[in-house]
């Protein structure tokens, strides 16, 4: 995998006719709204003199998902102060210092800092580690918790080796090398699979674990081929390790978590590809939703059957389909890039999830979601 200085990043907005200054100005406005907009707009809040958090506005809590996403947003946009504020909040209020999950982070915490959960969600840990490595490479390592490389490596060590002493469970299954939904349960979430991250972990994690991460990247790519439906490209929210939708928890359909899969496939293609399968799968998802133009997005089975319930996060569907253009490219991208450009940030209490994915999509499509 090429590094940031060697790889070229495509600006799809420019390709499809938008002015470079207009693109840059729009990105700045999006970030300002997310971090420093009005109370009705922003997600980020400063906390004390040197901390900050992002709130899930639909659930009124702070999640490792959102905190790790925001840290990635900050390192991509050269926002070191906000990055450090977020990371200090995470280490102060989310860090699990003892017990079965020692070394991980509580996935849900109140904005006051009181833990709601005593367990982790692995998507947070993988984004924390990646954002920390990027911070080290972009800004240099600091002291204490701001020794970013050390923090990232220690976290990934826990993710792989936890449980070897009989206490706790690893976040990746040691045999099939697939990420778990949570450490103690034997199934997975396809949207957690980030092989483009794992290839970088294979370069930067503890030397003893680098082959594990290289194997994990390959395992996740093969898993996604099984999990994504051959006609629609859809994966379920939760699946068995063989890719079969897991209906027991009510998450066997193409619903909120699952929207991220096409975006991840796009970024994997941009950072580590090109891959023909990524192009084919992203195009299928884009074409399915293009055919729904003019009708409300619904919940769907992975084979495309429309269910009665409307999608909870319609802006997220538009954003992730647009980000899939990094894989589909000319096969179906122009429609989605232009539709996304014309779609504003979401407002209201459910804006958190949609707008997180919106920022990632805008970064990616403007050539600013980069390996550092």
* Positions marked catalytic: 65, 257
Determine the Cα angle at 293 with ends 333 and 343, to 5°: 65
Contacts of 91 (CB under 8 A, 6+ apart): 145
* DSSP annotation string for 282-323: HHHHHHHHHTTTTS--EEE-TT-PEEEEEPS-HHHHHHHHHH
Residue 211 phi, psi dihedral angles, 5° rounding: -70, -35
Residue 1 CA, chain-centre distance (Å), reads: 19
What Cα–Cα distance (Å) separates residue 297 from each residue in 215, 288, 307, 325, 360?
A: 37, 11, 10, 19, 21
* Separation between Cα atoms, residue 228 and residue 105, nearest integer Å: 29
Sign of CA dihedral 26, 197, 339, 275: positive
Nearest alpha-carbon partner for 195 in 136, 269, 246: 269
**Helix, strand, coil % in the chain, rounded to nearest 5:** 50, 10, 40
The label of the residue with tokens 């991208």 reads 333
> Which residues lie closer than 8 Å to 92 by C-beta, 6 or more apart?
51, 113
CA distance linking residue 198 with residue 255, whole number of Å:
25
**C-alpha–C-alpha distance, residues 130 and 126, integer Å:** 6
Is the bond preceding 244 in cis, omega lying within 30 degrees of 0?
A: no
């Amino acid at each position: 995998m090429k590094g940031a200085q060697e790889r070229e990043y495509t600006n799809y907005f420019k390709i499809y006719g938008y002015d470079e200054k207009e693109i840059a100005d729009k990105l700045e406005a999006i970030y300002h709204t997310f971090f420093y907009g009005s109370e009705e707009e922003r997600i980020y809040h400063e906390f004390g003199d040197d901390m900050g958090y992002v709130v899930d506005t639909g659930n009124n809590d702070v999640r490792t998902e959102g905190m790790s996403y925001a840290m990635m947003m900050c390192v991509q946009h050269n926002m070191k102060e906000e990055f450090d504020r977020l990371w200090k909040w995470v280490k102060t209020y989310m860090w699990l210092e003892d017990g079965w999950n020692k070394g991980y982070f509580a996935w849900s915490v109140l904005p006051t800092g009181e833990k709601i959960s005593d367990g982790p969600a692995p998507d947070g840990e993988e984004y924390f580690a990646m954002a920390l490595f990027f911070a080290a490479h972009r800004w240099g390592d600091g002291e204490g918790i701001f020794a970013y490389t050390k923090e990232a490596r220690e976290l990934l060590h826990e993710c792989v080796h936890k449980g070897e002493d009989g206490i706790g469970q690893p976040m990746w299954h040691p045999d099939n090398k697939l990420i778990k939904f949570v450490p103690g349960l034997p199934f997975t979430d396809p949207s957690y699979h980030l092989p483009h991250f794992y290839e970088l972990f294979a370069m930067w994690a503890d030397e003893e674990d680098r082959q594990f991460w290289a194997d994990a990247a390959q395992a996740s790519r093969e898993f996604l081929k099984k999990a994504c439906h051959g006609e629609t490209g859809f994966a379920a929210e939760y699946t068995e390790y063989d890719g079969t939708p897991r209906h027991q928890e009510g998450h066997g359909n193409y619903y909120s978590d699952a929207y991220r899969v096409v975006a991840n496939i796009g970024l994997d293609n941009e950072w580590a590809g090109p891959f023909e399968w990524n192009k084919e799968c992203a195009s299928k998802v884009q074409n399915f939703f293009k055919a729904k133009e003019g009708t409300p997005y619904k919940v769907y089975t992975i084979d495309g059957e429309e269910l009665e319930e409307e999608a909870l996060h319609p802006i997220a569907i538009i954003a992730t389909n647009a980000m899939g253009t990094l894989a589909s490219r000319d096969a179906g991208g122009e429609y989605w890039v232009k539709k996304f450009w014309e779609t504003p940030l979401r407002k209201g209490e459910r804006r958190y999830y949609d707008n997180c994915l919106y920022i990632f999509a805008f970064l990616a499509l403007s050539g600013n979601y980069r390996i550092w």
